[in-house]
Structure 1
Amino acid sequence: MTLMDTRVEDGYPTRITGTPEQLPRVHPTVWGTEADGPIDAATLAHHEVTGYTVDEGLLSPGEVQTYWQELVRLSSDEELRADERVITEAKTGEVRSVFDVHVLSDLIRELVHDPRVLDRARQILGSEVYIHQSRVNYMPGFKGTGFYWHSDFETWHAEDGMPSPRAVSCSIALTDNYPYNGGLMVMPGSQRTFVQCAGETPEENYKASLKDQRVGVPAEDDIMKMAAEYGIEQFTGTAGSALWFDSNIMHGSSNNITPYPRSNIFLVFNSVENELQEPFAASAPRPAFIAGRDSTPLKR
């Protein structure tokens, strides 16, 4: 399917010229109920409040090893290195991320359709879903660089045309996540607030932002206020664990200067009732390998 032609009202204006504000979210975090899937009512209620859920042991040790080998294969493919879907570190040239990975890898395509993953995405979003974005992230020991504080939805809304934050991300750890090797940090409950960002979106901003995001990040004062109100928690756990988190939750990660790498599979599910439109704050939409525009529902 293509971009929707009918424009909806912009409920989350951003990339503004004035002083950014913090706007209340007008949409729920959880759209489904206990009857819609495997997540129990208490966990759904917790996800509604905090904006995230940890699923311990989603993958078995054997599966973790299989997917890890797949990540090694992808990062070692010299032909693939020339593909625009492969993002390298700005300073070292090492592979930072591989996008559209559910298209590039049969193994990860199967994972997207796995009921352990797909049924949870459907339940949280209360509808059929499709892949908005897929990638694998590499954060090697000693020199892996982190991601500055941001809301994914701010970018997806501004640059991709996602109308509302009816999307959820699933980050599946393929290495152990310690408190000290660059693990993802979140501000629990922050998904209830949309933080506007200042400044216009440059042409083809994605080419720079995927290496080092400078546009579409909140002001330091807003980060301080959010941290004071919501606090900061960190995703830790063994390889095979999964973190489900709302598209609008404030999150980021620090550099990894330890010897221990941190890699993950990152899947973003969007509701078929939340199809992309024209970007709300950019002159042109980002490429489909970053923001999928085929909203055909995923099947088991």
Structure 2
Amino acid sequence: MTLTESRVEDSYPTRIVATEGDLLERTDPTVWGSEHDGPIDAATLASHDAKGYSIVEGLLSPAEVQGYWQELVRLSSDEQLKADERVITEKASGEVRSIFEVHKVSELISELARDPRILDRARQILGSDVYIHQSRVNYMPGFKGSGFYWHSDFETWHAEDGMPRPRCVSCSIALTDNYPFNGGLMVMPGSQRTFVQCVGETPEDYYKTSLKEQKIGVPSEDNITRLAAEHGIDQFTGPAGSALFFDSNIMHGSGNNITPYPRSNIFLVFNSVENALVEPFAAGKPRPTFIASREFTPVTR
């Protein structure tokens, strides 16, 4: 598919030239599979369809959490790895903020991505085989961890990576306890059914700055206010080992962490093999593959 063809078929136009983006009705399902396709029961699947997210408490045992936490410490302490482009540091402190393509850096996390507790749920929600669109670990240290402004992942993945439709689900696995006060992820339940257009042209190599602080591809304050008034805000809290599965188009964000309690997670993004990337819909060229994979081979156990 050529760049011209992909733009003609664009169902979710964004990065527009205007003073305000519109709120567009989503034309794709949130849940593509049924209760017979995986471990999620009918009630939970219906709730995920309505809210755009579901929580699995105790997905990892305390022993597993400890093992993955030690792996995160090892990765963040690897001086050779810090020079890698896949490592993103805090804008102010220079501390490690995220490590991308972590399933290729860590065999332990590679195995986790194939774990049926995670993989089977992703397949069920998307109703197909899946591949890893993106993986990363996020570090939010105590006192100085910076948050993420309100955004839809799909808006960026569509505009800058060429993801045609929001047939994609993210799994965030908490490796530290998530409290209401240490920068826990906030979501607007039901907002995944609305695509929020963003204003402004995508700068060249924008990922080099946007991964630290995003300014293009974020919704307006008016549109955030409208969504919050309609849907309200939920927050992902709970003990380490819990997992949040959430739709790629749900509006979400997190605040800064000024408490002594760090917040870290493993983040795995599964895209349907039937939703493989094409050319970007609102950028001059695709982002690097460590941010948006173009290897569409299905993940297997």
Q: Output the TM-score relative to the length of structure 2.
A: 0.98
Aligned mates of 1:74, 1:180 — CA distance in 2: 26
Contact 1:103 1:109 in 2 (8 A): yes
- Does the Cα contact within 8 Å between 2:90 and 2:97 map onto a contact in 1? yes
Question: Measured at CA, do residues 151 and 255 of structure 1 come closer, stay the same or move farther in structure 2, by a change above 3 Å?
Answer: same
Letter in 1 for 2:36: A
The 3 A distance-change label for structure 1 pair 142 and 298 is same
Kept in 2: contact 1:4–1:275 (CA 8 A): no
Cα distance in 2 for partners of 1:214, 1:12 equals 19
Counterpart of 1:41?
42
Aligned partners of 1:265 and 1:28: how far apart in 2? 26
* Aligned-residue offset at 1:3: 9.1
What SS class does the counterpart of residue 138 from structure 2 fall into? strand
Deviation at 1:271, TM superposition (A): 0.1
Partner of 1:175: 176
Which residue number corresponds to residue 124 of structure 1? 125
- Give the percent of matched residue pairs that are identical in Structure 1 and Structure 2: 76
Letter of the 2:259 counterpart: T
Q: 1:274 to 1:46 in 2, by over 3 A?
A: same
SS at match of 2:149: strand
CA contact (8 A) 1:3 1:276 kept: no
Task: Supply the distance in 1 between the matched residues of 2:35 and 2:119 (Cα, whole angstroms).
Answer: 15
Residues 3-14 of structure 1: pairs in structure 2 closer than 5 A: 7=6, 9-14=9-14
Aligned twin of 2:17: 17
Q: Secondary structure at the match of 2:184?
A: coil
The alignment covers a number of residue pairs equal to: 299
2:291 maps to what in 1?
Answer: 290
Q: Secondary structure at the match of 1:163?
A: coil
* CA positional deviation for 1:5: 9.7
Say yes or no: does 1:250 pair with 2:244: no
Q: Distance in 1 between matches of 2:109 and 2:4?
A: 32
- For structure 2, the 5+ residue unaligned runs are none
Give the AA of the match of 1:33.
S
Counterpart of 1:11, as a letter, is S
C-alpha spacing 1:134/1:3, structure 2 compared with 1 (3 Å): farther
CA RMSD, aligned part only? 1.3
Normalized against structure 1, the TM-score is what? 0.98
Asked whether the equivalents of residues 190 and 230 of structure 1 are also in contact (C-alpha less than 8 Å), the reply is yes
Find runs of 4+ consecutive structure 1 residues off by over 4 angstroms: 2-6
Distance 2:71 2:231 in 1: 37
Superposed CA offset, 1:270-297 (max 9, x none): 0000000000000000000000100001
| CA separation of 1:187 and 1:68: change in aligned 2, threshold 3 A | same
Q: Give the SS at the match of 1:91.
A: coil
**CA deviation map 1:93-146 (0-9, x unaligned):** 000000000000000000000000100000000000000000000000000000
Distance in 1 (CA, whole Å) between partners of 2:51 and 2:223 is 19
Contact conserved, 2:196 with 2:219, CA < 8 A, in 1? yes
Alignment of 1:50-61 (within 5 A): 50-61=51-62
- C-alpha distance 185-3 of structure 1, shift in aligned 2 (>3 A): farther
Distance 1:197 1:117 in 2: 32
Match of 2:166? Answer: 165
Q: Which moved more, 1:13-22 or 1:246-255?
A: 13-22
2:93 is matched with 92
Q: Give me the whole-angstrom Cα distance separating, in 1, the residues matched to 2:277 and 2:46.
A: 28
Q: Which amino acid aligns with 1:112?
A: A
Paired letter, 1:13: P
Secondary structure of 1:79 counterpart = helix
Q: How does 1:141-220 map to 2 (within 5 A)?
A: 141-220=142-221
Write the distance in 2 (CA, Å) between the matches of 1:233 and 1:45.
17
- Cα deviations across residues 258-279 of structure 1 (Å, max 9, x unaligned)? 0000000000000000000000
Q: Does 1:133 align with 2:134?
A: yes
Instruction: State the 1:6 CA deviation.
Output: 6.1
Shift of 1:50: 0.2
Q: Relative to 1, partners in 2 of residues 1:237 and 1:158: Cα closer, same or farther, differing over 3 Å?
A: same
Native 8 Å contact 2:98 2:137 kept in 1:
yes
In structure 2, C-alpha distance between the alignment counterparts of 1:99 and 1:86, rounded to whole Å: 6
Partner of 2:178, secondary structure, is: coil
Partners of 2:293 and 2:69 lie apart in 1 by 24
1:4 positional shift:
9.4
